Amino acid sequence: MNEIGFDFCGAALSARASGALWWPDRRLLAVSDLHLGKSDRIARRSGAFLPPYETRDTLHRLQAEIDALSPATVLCLGDSFDDLQAAAHLDADDKSQLARLMAGRRWIWAEGNHDPGPVDLGGTHLAELDAPPLVFRHIAQPGARAEVSGHYHPKARVALGRHTIARPCFLMDADRLILPAFGTFTGGLSCGAEPLKSLMRGDARAFLLGATMVALPAAAAL
């Protein structure tokens, strides 16, 4: 699969076209903001019924990454579920697929703002993961160093010739790396909008997802 390799604070990482982050030296696969069960949560809270296919599609795409890389550790970097009830409401097929993905490897659920507590699905629940030289948490903290986070679902819109493309993206500067949302049914925040604009240094780079990934200065995004 198309990917961009880069060094971040002494760790050799790869930004995958799926939106996953791969740390080969640790055999660690990180994904953020799966938002499993989002259609279920919307139905419960608003009465709007949407086809509940986003969970299955997200799990299938995660399966593809696990099959390709065979990670020893999978880190779900917060907001893995749209809320804690969504975790409890996963249907039997989705629970079975998730159990197969988790089998034989370390699986970490990092705490997110949508899913602040542990879920009854196995794995380990952590507020954050300290994996020197990096620290992984859901929401970026001001002044942090060597930090990998998610939460903001960064997206970039750029002009390429006569066309304009809008894609989810990784954002990286010397201090922090922010992952795109991996979930199928998720929105996004422009990398030029607050608070991303203030969080990232002026020389930040964006890695746009797609069949052909694009790396460019974040400041070039429209």
Considering the entire predicted model, what is its pTM?
A: 0.92
More confidently predicted of 94 and 175: 175
pLDDT tens digit sequence for 195-215: 999 999 999 999 999 888 989
Domains of the chain plus CATH, in order, are 3-220 (3.60.21)
Measured over the CA atoms of residue 6, residue 155, residue 17 and residue 186, the dihedral's sign is positive
pLDDT tens digit sequence for 186-199: 888 999 899 999 99
Calculate ∠ Cα 189-4-66, nearest 5°: 85
d(CA 126, CA 121): 14
